[in-house]
Structure 1
Amino acid sequence: MKIAMIQVNIEFGNPETNRKKMVEMIEKAAQGQPDIIVLPEMWNTSFSLKNLHEIADKSGEPTKTIIGNLAKKYHINIVAGSVADVHGDLVHNRLYVFDRDGNVKSHYDKAHLIQQAREHEFLTAGKSTEVFRLDEVICGAIICYDIRFPELARTVALKGAKVLFIPAQWPETRIEHWKALVIARAIENQMYVVAVNRIGSEFKADFPGKSLVVDPWGKILVESDDQEQIVHVEIDMDLVDRIRTKIPCFSDRNIEAYEL
């Protein structure tokens, strides 16, 4: 499975500019003929929280049309990071997944909102997880802060996921946590973790990129620097089964010991 991660700067509160850039980056990434292209978190508006009702997508549009058409045009799966998306009176930080025919395969709403950043005042948290198939590989996705909650990644793994995608806007001040948590989620769930971060600055936060892919053994296969770029990597899906057979963590779980 060939994966392309798109690491970009995101312009605060300017969805038109961000959409134009993302189209250009996807078209560039498609030239490498990856199986999956992955985008970062909240790439349409960033965290311009106070005016999301005005500038965010409306029930997935225009993201569904723009990204769906690109997926179909290049016959590539796209894990479309996440976008601010208005549904009625609610705004979600929502991730969309598109198959090679441009169809929406799945969506996921960020489950954990950062109170310190007042996300909970403007966004509505998701309440479910689901897995999806891309080229017959079972995959799952969570978003940024979700990575601090291991039970969420474990839930996805128990549903059969072999690859976990994590779009993010993770700041420089906690970048060591980012790396450690991505590796931990890969090791404990014996699956690939594909984590895509942004670059640039917003308010008092700097975003250093450092997008990375970690294999089920905890080995970093690729790690980006702090520049805008497209990162390509190829992963061996058979490795997941080999490691899960060698160390059968899931079958060795003692669920009674975890009950509160």
Structure 2
Amino acid sequence: MTPLRIALHQGPAGVPGTPDESLAALDDAVRRAAAGGADLLVTGEMYLTGYAVGDALPRLAEAADGPSAARVAKIAADHGVAVVYGYPERDGGRVYNSAQLIGADGSALANYRKTHLFGDFEMAGFTPGDTPVVQARLGDLTVGLLICYDVEFPENVRAHAVAGTDLLAVPTALMRPYEFVPHTLVPARAYESQLFVAYTNRCGAEGEFHFAGLSCLAGPDGVVRARAGTGAELVLADADPALLAAARAETPYLRDRRPGLYTALTRPVAG
């Protein structure tokens, strides 16, 4: 079983609405990731267009197989590195906050639509997705996709674990002052659901938002394998299948679950 080397591309917020600039920066990041032996690069949420796009969102949204997807596919194939990137997806009259996984050969492997929208901008601009678990196989690992706020719901991550996800790729646009999420919550999610979490945030100021950075790769033992600071950075670390097996044997949460006791999780919260 061969480890999968992950590159976390924590980029500056930049100028919203500039996908050409984002794609040029992605090409450079994937080239550097390839030089470091990476198999997979993960970007932040809404990477292609920027997050604070406001009323330009409908104009910037593209189909999952649109022109930007074709350019990402070429970048991945040129450098032999798989890519997970965030973007606004248009499907008919609806726009989704999406993340797509492109294989190292340029093939489209998985597309996920954010299921838990955060804040007024997302609630007003996006339709929530309704498919909680989206996966694809990369090397010896099954890779799943979530986006930012999604990972803060333990049910989402546990659903992936039960479905066989080994590595969760999570494009993120986490703002200050919520730094406790990458510091505390993400490693806890990795530990309690016994999988790797590649959490890639934006950084810097964009419109009214100030992104926290602190991208990380957390392991199934709760240990953070790599951590970015608060500025632009490319961080590499390995997701090792051997560590997954060892952690799951030592801390058998998935084996020892009692799903029959958890039916209350599907009930509305009293209020």
| Separation in structure 1 between the aligned mates of residue 40 and residue 121 of structure 2, nearest angstrom | 33
The change in CA–CA distance for 1:49 and 1:85 in structure 2 (over 3 A counts) is farther
Letter in 1 for 2:252: P
Q: Which residue of 1 aligns with 2:66?
A: 61
Native 8 Å contact 2:30 2:81 kept in 1: no
What's the offset of the Cα at 1:33? Answer: 2.4
Report what 2:122 is aligned to: 119
Match of 2:75 in 1: 70
CA contact (8 A) 1:44 1:56 kept: no
1:94 lines up with 2:101 in the alignment: no
User: Is the contact made by 1:5 and 1:232 (CA closer than 8 Å) also made in structure 2?
Assistant: yes
The 2-side partners of 1:252 and 1:59 are apart by 39
The corresponding residue for 1:246 is 250
**Structure 2 unaligned spans of 5+:** 265-271
> Matched residues in 2 for 1:195 and 1:253: separation?
26
Superposed, which structure 2 residues align to 1:97-108 within 5 Å? 97-108=101-112
Structure 1, residues 166-195: CA drift from partner, whole Å, max 9, x if none?
A: 110111211113322101110111111111
Shift of residue 251, structure 1, vs aligned partner: 1.8
For the structure 1 residues 204 and 118, does the alpha-carbon distance in structure 2 shift closer, same or farther, using more than 3 Å as the test?
closer
Change (3 A) 1:126 1:93: same
Moved over 4 A (4+): none
SS of match in other structure, 2:98:
strand
Higher RCO (C-alpha under 8 Å, 6+ residues apart) = 2
Q: Is 1:8 the equivalent of 2:8?
A: no
For 1:27-176, list aligned pairs within 5 A. 27-47=31-51, 48-80=53-85, 82-114=86-118, 116-128=119-131, 129-176=133-180
User: How many equivalent residue pairs?
Assistant: 258
Tell me, what secondary structure is at the counterpart of 2:177? helix
- Contact kept, 8 Å, 2:16 with 2:50, in 1: the verdict is yes
Could you tell me whether the CA contact under 8 Å between 1:187 and 1:216 is conserved in 2? yes
Query: For 2:69 and 2:208, how far apart are their aligned partners in 1?
Result: 32
CA contact (8 A) 1:41 1:168 kept: yes
**Distance across 1 between alignment mates of 2:83 and 2:47:** 14
Matched residue type, 2:197: V
Are 2:261 and 1:257 aligned?
A: yes
* Cα drift, residue 242 of structure 1: 1.3
- Structure 1 runs not aligned, ≥5 long: none
The one-letter code sitting in structure 2 at the alignment partner of 1:64 is: A
Whether 2:239 is the aligned partner of 1:235: answer yes
Change (3 A) 1:19 1:70: closer
- Give the share of equivalent positions with the same residue, in percent: 27
SS of the residue aligned with 1:67? helix
Name the aligned partner's letter for residue 90 of structure 2: V
Q: Find the aligned partners of 1:161 and 1:46 in 2 and give their Cα distance.
A: 28
- Aligned 8 A contact 2:23 2:72 in 1: no
* Aligned residues of 1:60 and 1:85 also touching (Cα < 8 A): no
TM superposition score normalised by structure 2: 0.90
Amino acid at match of 1:95: A
Among 176, 179, 185, the alignment partner of 2:183 is 179
C-alpha offsets along residues 132-179 of structure 1, whole Å, 9 cap, x if unaligned?
A: 101131121100011121101111111111111111011121111332
Further displaced range: 140-149 or 25-34: 25-34
**Cα distance in structure 1, aligned partners of 2:11 and 2:39:** 20
Give the RMSD, CA atoms, in angstroms. 1.5
| Offset, 1:30 | 2.1
3-state secondary structure, aligned to 1:239: helix
**Paired residues of 1:49 and 1:119 also in contact (CA < 8 A):** no
Following superposition, the deviation at residue 83 of structure 1 comes to 0.3
Return the TM-score normalized by structure 1. Answer: 0.94
